[in-house]
Structure 1
């Protein structure tokens, strides 16, 4: 097994979106199930398929955003198969915010838009409470990390997290993320501290920070 961590290529966007759909599948991920409730899913498609076009558009928007890094883990012994990915939002600093593509709209016929709006509100309130009016503009933010269910417990998630933490450390920046119950032990092992617990539709998540040295 040889795992290589690198920036994603544009032609890999569909594969990343597909993997995101597997990692955050509505039958195994509580938040995804709330956003894409079963009763709204088409009967002629496998559960989870209706969100795939949106996932591809969202990953493409990130790829084309200047302060967003799409990182992949590829297994070089499996013909460079993508076995993990991470989406990092980079600091903007004091410069003018870069021009970014519009966030793609969720498919309203299969999405509980009220739940999604509530989720975004919870996150935004935590960003402001933690960092003030500038929110995430001065930190490295781990927006999403996922590992192929068939390739877990191989250190892939740790490697993807290490990539961003090392970048932030070189810049003297804090790292911020929202931890699921499953991901929290990994982040704690890196030295992330809990900022506050957040109840997300009945499941306790935690906002966490890895402070830059000297802060």
Structure 2
């Protein structure tokens, strides 16, 4: 499976030394994502809270290399794309999810929305992906800085995990936002379901789509 990115870009394994660069990317990569608006509507008013809790979230992933395979793509010394694959099905590790960080403390979030979204992700995962058991690699997070979109970063990060899943006879799974579905289907993922992600009674059309590859 070919993975092609622009020549000036380089993909490598992330380390804990990349935490600040990853945090910066995670904050900057989703300015137009309705999911971020739903969970963190005050992130521009309280950037220090957004930085603190986002950093702690990614530190949690980086401190579990036996559970999460984390890739970054660099342009020079700048991290411009990130992919996090849950590989615990391969290693037998028991991943600890970062969870709802800063509950009752952070000011950048709509706390009820943040809590509900986190619990809803678990519900929807069970609905659509539990059928695959441990024989899956799950793409937890994919982010590309908007200045580097359409240059092969997202596809390369997807195909990294898809190749690993194929070698092991696993499937690859991912939740797609409206922004991400086009990318995932372009590399071969198939839609198997879609679920609302907003609290009952809330207005809006926030939907997450479950996709699988290799089934």
TM-score normalised by L of structure 2: 0.82
Select the residue among 3, 8, 11 that pairs with 1:2: 8
Q: 1:196 Cα shift?
A: 0.7
Gaps of 5+ in 1: none
* Cα distance change, pair 50–99 in 1 and its aligned pair in 2 (3 A): closer
Q: 1:147 Cα shift?
A: 0.9
Deviations 1:153-173 (A, max 9, x none): 111111111111111111111
Alignment partners' CA distance in 2, 1:130 and 1:118: 18
* Structure 1 equivalent of residue 191 of structure 2: 194
After TM superposition, list the pairs within 5 Å mapping 1:157-196 onto structure 2.
157-196=154-193
Gaps of 5+ in 2: 1-6, 199-204
* Cα distance change, pair 24–57 in 1 and its aligned pair in 2 (3 A): same
Q: 1:102 Cα shift?
A: 5.8
* Structure 1 equivalent of residue 3 of structure 2: none
RMSD: 2.4
* Structure 1 equivalent of residue 128 of structure 2: 130
Alignment partners' CA distance in 1, 2:91 and 2:83: 25
1:13 and 2:19 correspond: yes
* Structure 2 equivalent of residue 73 of structure 1: 73
* Cα distance change, pair 49–30 in 1 and its aligned pair in 2 (3 A): farther
Larger RCO of the pair (alpha carbons < 8 Å, separation 6+): 2
* Structure 2 equivalent of residue 30 of structure 1: 34
TM-score normalised by L of structure 1: 0.82
Alignment partners' CA distance in 2, 1:166 and 1:125: 27
Q: 1:103 Cα shift?
A: 4.5
> How many residue pairs get matched?
200
Q: 1:33 Cα shift?
A: 1.5
